[in-house]
Amino acid sequence: MPDDNRLYSYSAVLMGSPILLKLFTHDDALASRVFRLIKQYENLLTVNRAQSQVMDINHAAGKHPVAVSRPVFELIRCAKAASQCKDSAFNLAIGPLVKRWKIGFHGDSVPPANDIAALLRLTDPADVVLDEAHCSVMLLKPGMAIDLGAIAKGYIADRVRDFLRQEGTECALINLGGNIQTLGSPHGGWSVGLKKPFAGDELIGALTVENRSVVTSGIYERYFEHNGKRYHHILDPRSGYPLDNELDSVTIVSKESIDGDIWTTLMYGMGVEKGCAVLHARPDIEAIFVTKTKEVVLSSARHFRFTLLDNCYRVTDSIA
Ligand code: FAD
Ligand code: MG
């Protein structure tokens, strides 16, 4: 922890998200290198432009395998493994549905049920075939598409942390728009706000963490309303519709941000009760569930402290 307590903030917009870097040194050059690193990963992984390594794979769906760089291959391997876990709501092959719904993008709409049924047939993770020796990926059916939107920010947050550590930085925070990774511990730890759903910048509470990632996924950032019903961007890979349950948001506290990103989606699919039961066997992954009935449920709180700031909410410990 540096003697000078001043915190310097640097911001950018990348991956369609506000990016915030906090350092204890005034270092424009280091901040620029961090933003450049994020940009490089965005260029490899984005599906929001015509070209990237992931788009090369998607364009070749049903035709041929595509060789990619080792980090892209490893990230896809990890995303496929998460998709094939028991009862997983995570699916790296969800791309055709994401593109059809366009939630969070211009032109969003509720697709006809027969469109959803047809697109669901293009989302089997087993149809994403990895070839270790050639470092290549093939999508077996035409129209298939990989989407790493639920994992890539976590992966990139970890790479930023590694880069800063390698540069000799002892204490820093990177926020990739809901994906926070921290390095070191300023006096008393890092304080991270837990947002109140549908209430702008208002907070439900604050977490204090050291050397941990804090990832939040919610239904209140990217959504649209149609005929009085709200449609948010976390899709249920079984039905093809937005996941509909008791949750407004899930936050995961973990060492690696990639785990936080994956587990927010897994927990979204399981809900509070099953999620807490599953996390019982994973002391390294901790969840904070915020329900529509204004409950804040902590699966455990070994690696963070939570302070409630809004008395409309009640904090409950998991009974699992
Ligand atoms: P998470 O809950 O972590 O993930 C939700 C996202 O994952 C969805 O938006 C969808 O993309 C995908 N998804 C939905 N359901 C599932 C599921 N069941 N399993 C797996 N994945 C699912 N946004 C822009 O507006 N413009 C951009 O140019 C842009 N570029 C981006 C480039 C990159 C490299 C990345 C990683 C993201 C980019 N984004 C962009 C944001 C992106 O579209 C997602 O909205 C964002 O990644 C969602 O992150 P999250 O943490 O809010 O949600
Ligand atoms: Mg995620």
String of DSSP letters for 284-296: T-EEEEEETTSEE
Name the closest-CA residue to atom 42, ligand 1: 149
- For residue 189, give the 3-state DSSP assignment: coil
Among 262, 309, 312, 268, CA closest to 288: 268
* 77 contact partners, CB below 8 Å, separation of at least 6: 130
- For 154-175, b where at least 16 C-beta lie within 10 A, e where not — what string? bbbbbbbbebbeeeebebbbbb
CB distance 214 to ligand 1 below 6 Å: no
Q: Return the pLDDT at 255.
A: 98
- For residue 65, give the 3-state DSSP assignment: coil
Among 82, 80, 86, CA closest to 270: 86
CB distance 24 to ligand 1 below 6 Å: no
In tens, the pLDDT along 196-248 reads: 999 999 999 999 999 999 999 998 889 999 999 999 999 999 999 999 899 99
- Ligand 2 center to residue 254 CA distance, Å? 13
In tens, the pLDDT along 272-315 reads: 999 999 999 999 999 999 999 999 999 999 999 999 999 999 99
Strands 229-232 and 223-226: antiparallel
Q: What are phi and psi of 62, to 5 degrees?
A: 80, 0
DSSP string, 88-142: ----TT-HHHHHHH-TTSTT-----HHHHHHHHTT--GGGEEEETTTTEEEESST
- Ligand 1 center to residue 118 CA distance, Å? 22
CB distance 73 to ligand 1 below 6 Å: no
Q: Return the pLDDT at 106.
A: 93
Please report which residue ranges of the chain form alpha helices under DSSP H.
28-45, 53-59, 70-83, 95-101, 113-120, 152-166, 257-279
Q: Return the pLDDT at 318.
A: 73
CB distance 152 to ligand 1 below 6 Å: yes
- Banded model confidence at residue 97, pLDDT cuts 50, 70, 90: very high
Domains annotated for the chain, with CATH where assigned, are 1-45+150-171 (no CATH), 53-139 (1.10.3980.10), 185-317 (3.10.520.10)
Tell me 62's DSSP state: T
* 63 contact partners, CB below 8 Å, separation of at least 6: 142
Name the closest-CA residue to atom 40, ligand 1: 16
Reply yes or no on whether the pLDDT at 5 is more than 80.
no
CB distance 231 to ligand 1 below 6 Å: no
Q: How far from the centroid of its chain's Cα atoms is residue 308's Cα?
A: 24
Location of structure tokens 């899709």: 235
- Ligand 1 center to residue 308 CA distance, Å? 29
Name the closest-CA residue to atom 1, ligand 1: 150
Q: Return the pLDDT at 319.
A: 57
Name the closest-CA residue to atom 43, ligand 1: 149
pTM beyond 0.85: yes
Q: Return the pLDDT at 22.
A: 97
Token representation of residue 160? 């930023």
Pocket test for ligand 1, best of 47, 80, 94, 233 (most atoms within 8 A of CB): 233
Q: Return the pLDDT at 93.
A: 98
CB distance 120 to ligand 1 below 6 Å: no
C-alpha distances out from residue 259 to 2, 186, 252, 293, 317, Å: 29, 23, 8, 27, 22
Reply yes or no on whether the pLDDT at 265 is more than 90.
yes
Reply yes or no on whether the pLDDT at 1 is more than 60.
no
Pocket test for ligand 1, best of 148, 153, 232 (most atoms within 8 A of CB): 153
* 246 contact partners, CB below 8 Å, separation of at least 6: 271, 272, 291, 292, 293
- Ligand 1 center to residue 98 CA distance, Å? 9
Name the closest-CA residue to atom 11, ligand 1: 149
- Banded model confidence at residue 187, pLDDT cuts 50, 70, 90: confident
Mean residue pLDDT of the chain comes to 95
Q: Return the pLDDT at 125.
A: 98
62 close to 143: Cβ distance less than 8 angstroms? yes
Token representation of residue 254? 């973990």
Q: What is the Cα–Cα distance from 259 to 95, expressed in whole angstroms?
A: 21
